[in-house]
Amino acid sequence: MSNKELRSIWEERISDYKNSGLSMKKWCDKNSLKLHQLQYWIRKYKNQEAVNSTSTKWVKVDEEPKVNSHKNDHLIQLRLNDYTIDVHPGFDSQTLKEVIQVLSSL
């Protein structure tokens, strides 16, 4: 039996167990399976679900109109790793925070 077939069988068994309303022990006795097998496969799928649930989180960045270089009197430049962020008066602090978090994670 291939790994794919075995996985499919246990996915079906786990679903059946969860829908049965029985305890693990009673369900295993009823289905002639060993309790530790069911526990193993449930744990295996929980771990796999945790790995699969990790996803990329995107932050929306709106393009701002270009600022005239003569109006940089109040410009603040932030340098983080290899990135430079120009912060102008009236900036959105939440957006800046999200941009810094994203750049810090790279």
Instruction: Report which secondary-structure segment, H or E, holds 87.
Output: strand 83-87
Max mean pLDDT range (8-22, 55-69, 70-84)? 8-22
**3 closest CA partner among 44, 47, 53, 51:** 44
The pTM for the full model equals: 0.45
Does 70 score more than 70 pLDDT? no
Ramachandran category for residue 82: left, alpha or beta (phi over 0 → left; psi -120 to 50 → alpha): alpha
Beta-carbon neighbour count of residue 28 at 10 Å? 19
CA distance 40 to 32: 16
pLDDT band at 33, cuts 50/70/90? very high
